[in-house]
Structure 1
């Protein structure tokens, strides 16, 4: 049995319960720097780690997912935030659920992110691993490294289906 999930546009307001949207938008604080040659979009997210961890920067190369897509699991990182910023300029999907011990497919929201929007998952936010679309896509990722396990997984039953 499967539950068909609705895909909605990614906006800062809709995504707020799960973390931050990273984008150069007129709705974010921005101002000119470098003698007016550069526009700085300021303080777009908070990088969170536990006291034993530290922030790291990586590049993830995601293989494209075909739609419809069966959403059978989610993961979370309780010790730190995890930010994804697309480098390839392609849209991608973001499937999330609020932090908590239990999660079901009824808790999942799916967002379509534009190729110029990133996301920063708040610590403990349930999310599906990278959901690149159309072609192999690179993402700049800022997350936590340090001692101790920082990835929990849960199987969704019933599973969700992201339609084509």
Structure 2
């Protein structure tokens, strides 16, 4: 049995999986006569393979219970996928590097802090949304031709996620 414990996420330790979506260390542009600040170019939305397009969706997530059994992972080889919480809360991500299947020895889990989202690079293995409360997430990903969902089920490996 392999037990994975979530660790604090940073731009550096998450960089091989994707980008963090936050406004720290970003200089905003004042807009709307000073009533708003715009933070540009926070992530790279990758949706153009096979003439795909970027779409915005809302996922209504249910709270997960821990420890949690991980029995599968998925990847989206044709585009990136961003998860942005619509409430001021933390959530977890469970990832593995690109490859034909998830490398169990390279799996990592991260605790994403409040006011932060993540954008998985195309082809990164991940477990579906792991919310710590019932809430909505804004999702930016790809829609278009081609198989953009690959699922790997763990048959022999027993993997447990602890927060």
TM over 0.5: yes
Q: CA offsets, 1:39-77, max 9 Å, x none?
A: 332211011021421000000011110000011111000
Deviation at 1:118, TM superposition (A): 0.3
Give the aligned partner of residue 45 of structure 1.
43
Give the aligned partner of residue 124 of structure 2.
125
Secondary structure of 1:158's counterpart equals coil
Report how many aligned residue pairs link the two structures. Answer: 160
Equivalent runs, 1:98-117 vs 2, <5 Å? 98-117=97-116
Deviation at 1:137, TM superposition (A): 1.4
Equivalent runs, 1:1-164 vs 2, <5 Å? 2-26=1-25, 29-34=26-31, 35-49=33-47, 50-133=49-132, 135-156=133-154, 157-164=156-163
Q: CA RMSD in A?
A: 1.4
Deviation at 1:158, TM superposition (A): 1.1
TM-score normalised per structure 1: 0.91
TM-score normalised per structure 2: 0.91
Contact 2:97 2:103 (8 Å CA) reproduced = no
Give runs of ≥4 in structure 1 deviating > 4 Å: none
Q: CA offsets, 1:12-57, max 9 Å, x none?
A: 111100011001112xx32331244433322110110214210000
Matches of 1:102 and 1:78, distance apart in 2: 12
Which segments of 5 or more consecutive residues in structure 2 lack a partner in the other structure?
Answer: none
Secondary structure of 1:13's counterpart equals helix
Which segments of 5 or more consecutive residues in structure 1 lack a partner in the other structure?
Answer: none
